Chains A and B, each alone.
Chain A
Amino acid sequence: MIRGEHYSWSSSFPLTRPFDWIAQIPRANQLDRFSQAIFELFWQVREKVELPVEIILASPQASNYTDRDFAAGGATSPSKFVHTLPNIRILPFAQWTQWHGRILCIQKDPSTMVHGLIEGVECCEWDSSSGTRWVVGSFQEADAVDLVEAHLWILNTTAGSVRFQPAKSASIISTDQILLENLRNKGPFQLDLGYGIVLNREV
């Protein structure tokens, strides 16, 4: 059985005050809000998390909103163009921690984050000896244009308030929307993610 922790962060943009870490990341002012959200979440939990051997980056909507910013600005900004690749979002974390390791940026809307978890759990089960895996993603609430959310899952085999258990049978794949609704309710829940994996959150 795989256990883990889940952390999240959300805020409207633009922010009313700058991030505490802004001076510590090169060209931080050029980061898009999705990269900022992921790094802010990491910054808040940095002292209690083990660095991973592998990161699965699973951001719903890929980099669509940053792509739109680039296109709407006449496709003239090189710094905006750089962020039109969803894998770039993890770079501030790698810059600050000097982390290096395996990374997979995956997409499968409307279940991108769910699939990130499924891949992460299966990978931990298959190769439990090598260390912690992270599943990370950030996105914009479609109906709240300025609200950006970031989520971080720390997956390992020993401890944590979330458990991933085998399901009796494979079922329909859950959507990110259902996963997020359960997470926002704060209470305990059980959710069949799909492919024979059930997510349990204890409180």
Chain B
Amino acid sequence: MTFQHNKINPYITGYGCSTAAGPTLEETLAGLRAFRGCFERDEKGRRIARRPGGTLSGYLDEAFKDLRSRERLDWTQEPYGVLFASTKGWIEDFIWKQDPGEGLRTDPFTEPFESWLTSQGLQPYRMLTVSNACASGLSALLLARRWLQTLPIKNVLILGADLARCFVVEGFDRLGALSQKEVRPFSVQRDGLGLGEGAAAILLSSEPHSDLILEAVDCDLQGDSPTRPTHAVNGLVSLYERMMSGGSAKPDWVIAHATATQLNDAVESQTFQKLFGEEGPRITASKRILGHTLGASSLIDATLACEVLRQGQGFPIADQPWMEGCLPGHLAFGTIGVQARLNRVLVSSLGFGNIHALGMFQRLELG
């Protein structure tokens, strides 16, 4: 199977996020570096990373405002595309009602997201939602890159957002996927994930207005179980090899999906060992602090990758090394490996339905 998947490398001309750690990427990164946990307990004692009073539109407002504070060009004067990455969108607004009525007849993304776009004065040439489970963010970047090559537009704004409210919290709880103690990615003592809320925004451009590029991105379905990442090691390895066939170099740093479930982290550990061996890049993750923000998570990690590249400074997975864990020698703890000159960061993402996605972010050396 061959794809024309690496024809251009879009420039990343703006990015921002809003998470449980704060309404900006700066505060999010500060929270990660200070190991400042954002989890609160809900009425049933389940740990959720969110800010009081947060709404989906509110998180989007903040992420977009953060992007606009950092963007490099006025892109709204010409036709542009918008993609929304989410697993459940605004479903909480109608699904619990006795009579959800019209709510059931139309998807829980389009109408409220278009209202949000209108509130921001945005009128895109084309808008779509990508709902590839927890790999939605990187999958939307894949479609955005294609749009830049096929549509009469030079810019695509990608937004991702999800809430951790009753619907998804009950669902993950029933699956037995929620951590009872502390989210410990790649630790042998890991016991599950903590859900989180947030949003992220990235602006991709076909014109060279930035030193950051989306060097490669791809997604794939491989496996035969709805919730267990069967065959995912081979799937991720072959996806990485396909994605890198254009000649890209190995990453200096990896932001792993790292939900801290037994299955996810085992798959990623084996994948990274297979891809990089013993001398691999430093591996970190954000979900210990920010929680798992579902469809927004890989887009939040993408914004972190951009800022890490720009600052030349990563963030650790935890302050103290786990007593025992997967990937010995690779994980970034405390200050080990945090300060380094970085040119490439890989973001990985796995979702229900055996969808997985990878994105490589690069900082160009400008003469």
Residue numbers of A with Cβ under 8 A of B are: 26, 53, 55, 60-62, 64-65, 67-68, 70-71, 75-78, 81-88, 90-91, 94-95, 98-110, 112, 115, 119, 122-123, 125-127, 129-131, 142, 195
A75–B132 Cα distance when bound, in Å, is 22
Interface of A is mostly: mixed
- Do A87 and B353 form a contact, CB below 8 Å, given A70-B171, A71-B95, A104-B130? yes
Q: How far, in angstroms, from A53 to B1 measured CA to CA in the complex?
A: 7
Tell me the nearest residue of chain A to B231, going by C-beta: A100
**Contact residue among A94, A110, A119, A125 (Cβ-Cβ distance under 8 Å from B221):** A94
Q: Which residues of B sit under 8 angstroms from A195, Cβ to Cβ?
A: 126
Q: Can you report 17 residue pairs joining A to B where beta carbons are below 8 Å apart?
A: A62-B89, A62-B107, A64-B105, A68-B95, A71-B95, A83-B226, A85-B131, A90-B353, A100-B235, A102-B219, A103-B221, A104-B143, A107-B110, A107-B129, A125-B150, A130-B1, A130-B4
Contact A85–B108 (Cβ < 8 Å): no
Q: Which of B3, B107, B218 contacts A107 (CB 8 A)?
A: B107
Q: Are B170 and A75 in contact (CB under 8 A)?
A: yes
Interface pair A109/B106, CB less than 8 Å apart: yes
Q: Residue-by-residue, is B97-116 near A (CB-CB < 8 Å gives 1, otherwise 0)?
A: 00010011111111100000
Contact status A104-B4, CB under 8 Å: no
Rounded to whole Å, the gap between the CB of A107 and the closest CB of chain B is: 4
Is B131 within 8 A of A131, CB to CB? Answer: no
Residues from chain A with a CB closer than 8 A to the CB of B105 are: 61, 64, 109, 142
B175 in contact (CB, < 8 A): yes
Chain A residues near B352: list those with CB within 8 A. 82, 85, 87-88
**Distance, CA A102 to CA B88, complexed state (A):** 21
**Contact A71 B132, beta carbon cutoff 8 Å:** no
Closest to B295 in A: A85
Bound CA–CA A94/B95 (angstroms): 29
**Chain A residue at smallest Cβ distance from B131:** A105
* Docked-complex contact B3 and A85, CB < 8 angstroms: no
- Distance in Å from the Cβ of A97 to the closest Cβ of chain B? 10
Does residue B227 face the partner (Cβ distance < 8 Å to A)?
Answer: yes
Question: Which residues of the other chain, A, contact B126 by a CB distance below 8 angstroms?
Answer: 195
Which single residue of chain B is at the shortest CB-CB distance from A100?
B222
With A61-B104, A62-B108, A104-B143 given, is the CB distance from A87 to B351 under 8 Å? yes
A131 touches B132 (CB 8 A): no
B129 and A26 contact, CB distance less than 8 A = no
Given contacts A87-B132, A127-B4, 17 further A-B contacts (CB under 8 A): A53-B3, A55-B221, A64-B103, A67-B91, A68-B95, A68-B104, A75-B167, A82-B227, A87-B352, A94-B221, A94-B222, A104-B143, A107-B109, A108-B110, A115-B128, A119-B128, A142-B105
> What A residues does B89 contact at CB under 8 A?
62
Contacts of A109 in B (CB 8 A): 105-107, 110-111
Asked whether any CB of chain A lies closer than 8 Å to the CB of B139, the reply is yes
Q: Are A105 and B130 in contact (CB under 8 A)?
A: yes
Q: Is the CB of A26 within 8 A of B110?
A: no
Residues on A with C-beta less than 8 A from B174 are 75-78, 81
Contacts of A102 in B (CB 8 A): 3, 142, 218-221
CB-CB under 8 A from B166, the residues of chain A are 75
Known contacts: A53-B1, A102-B3. The answer to whether A123 contacts B104 by CB under 8 A is no
B128 touches A129 (CB 8 A): no
Residues of B within 8 A of A83 (CB): 226
Inside 8 A of A55's CB, which chain B residues have their CB? 221
User: Quick one: closest B residue to A131, CB to CB?
Assistant: B1
From B4, B221, B224, B227, give the contact of A101 (CB < 8 A): B221
Please indicate the chain A residues that have their CB under 8 angstroms from the CB of B225 in the complex. Answer: 26
Q: Which residues of A contact B223 (CB under 8 A)?
A: 94, 100
Q: Is the CB of B129 within 8 A of A71?
A: no
CB distance from A54 to the nearest CB of B (A): 8
CB contacts (< 8 Å) of A87 on chain B: these are: 131-133, 351-353, 355
The smallest C-beta distance from B267 to any residue of chain A, in angstroms, reads 15
Interface 1/0 per residue, B192-222 and A, CB below 8 Å: 0000000000000000000000000011111
Shortest B238–chain A CB gap in Å is 8
**B106 pairs with A94, CB closer than 8 A:** no
Mark each residue of chain B from 300 to 313: 1 if its CB lies under 8 Å from any CB of chain A, else 0: 00000000000000
The complex places the Cα of A91 from the Cα of B352 at a distance, in Å, of: 10
**In the complex, which residue of chain A has the Cβ closest to the Cβ of B102?**
A142
Mark out the residues of chain B between 338 and 367 whose CB falls within 8 Å of any chain A CB in the assembled complex.
Answer: 351-355
Whether A108 and B127, one on each chain, are in contact in the complex, defined by CB atoms closer than 8 angstroms, is yes
Which chain A residues lie closer than 8 Å to B100 at the CB level?
64, 68
Q: Is the CB of A112 within 8 A of B355?
A: no
How many Å from the CB of A157 to the closest CB on chain B? 14
Counting chain A CB atoms within 10 Å of each CB, the highest count among B87, B143, B226, B352 belongs to B226
Q: Is the CB of B91 within 8 A of A108?
A: no
Known A91-B354, A94-B224; contact A106-B130, beta-carbon cutoff 8 A? yes
Assess the B107–A82 pair: CB atoms within 8 A: no
Cα(A91)–Cα(B87), bound, Å: 17
Decide if B226 touches A123 in the complex (CB within 8 Å): no
Q: Residue among A81, A88, A127 with the most chain B CB within 10 A?
A: A81
| B107 with A112: CB separation less than 8 A | yes
Complex A-B, nearest 8 residue pairs according to Cβ-Cβ distance, in ascending order = A81-B171, A100-B222, A75-B170, A62-B107, A107-B129, A95-B224, A109-B106, A107-B107
